[in-house]
Amino acid sequence: MDVSGKTAIIFGGTSGIGLAASKQLAAKGAKVIAVSRNPDKVGDVPAGVTLAKCDVLDRDAVDALLKQHAPFEILVSAATGGSRALGPFLEMDMDGYKASFDKLWGYANIVRYGAQHMTKDGSLVLVSGAPARKCKPGQVALSSVGGAVEAMVRSIAPEIAPRRLNVVSPGSIDTPMVALEGEARAEMYAKMTADNVIPRAGTADEVAQGILFVIENDFVTGTTIDVDGGWLLS
């Protein structure tokens, strides 16, 4: 796919990985709609990117937004959907564990209502995470949700062909989701990635490059692309 002149809708497209993907697609000439629950909080908007407001858990709102911009060729979601539970499972608040699956429900809404409004040669991309296949201590909820996302993609991809559906799975990525700053931030990422084959945090741009790869490569569908610094190997 040549993305120049194509329309791309990016849920979670105003921060972190989603913002990086929005910028990279816009730089290649795509018309980008970056979707957020709170677009008013976004700073400078890159050229070629317009903002839209939508809660991925509101099915009617998702459907309406996608209809508004149809037909489109590219659909990406890096939206978390809400809170994420961390810690040992036997100590976990079960409402928190359940709420972690809002990411899955948001993705399901986007694929369900997005596929029918996009072109037949379109590409959909969801962002999962390395814990889906290698869970570290305290990541039971992340692993459960990520595994569900990847299973959903493998199940749905054949059904919606010739549209393509893929997952990009990042490892530890330095994004605004982490509130720490300065030395405390650096120490946290150093500890998190010490056992990685590439012992550092990744960048949002590096993950966005993986997203661009599965969008542009017409021979890839139903698969997971790892951008994780060797998380799965450590």
Computed on alpha carbons and rounded to an integer, the radius of gyration of the chain in Å comes to 17
Query: What is residue 43's predicted lDDT score, i.e. its pLDDT?
Result: 66
Query: What is residue 178's predicted lDDT score, i.e. its pLDDT?
Result: 66
Task: Name beta bridge partners: 9.
Answer: 33, 75
Instruction: Give me the CATH code for the 7-226 domain, please.
Output: 3.40.50.720
Query: What is residue 183's predicted lDDT score, i.e. its pLDDT?
Result: 77
Q: What are phi and psi of 90, to 5 degrees?
A: -70, -10
Sign, CA dihedral 97-98-102-107, equals positive
Query: What is residue 179's predicted lDDT score, i.e. its pLDDT?
Result: 63
Over the chain (234 residues), what is each successive 10-residue block's mean pLDDT?
97 93 97 90 79 96 97 95 88 94 96 97 97 94 96 98 98 76 76 87 95 98 96 91
Query: What is residue 42's predicted lDDT score, i.e. its pLDDT?
Result: 74
What six digits make up the tokens of 170?
A: 């990042």
Query: What is residue 192's predicted lDDT score, i.e. its pLDDT?
Result: 79
Q: What are phi and psi of 70, to 5 degrees?
A: -70, 150
Cis status of the peptide bond prior to 71, with omega within 30 of 0:
yes
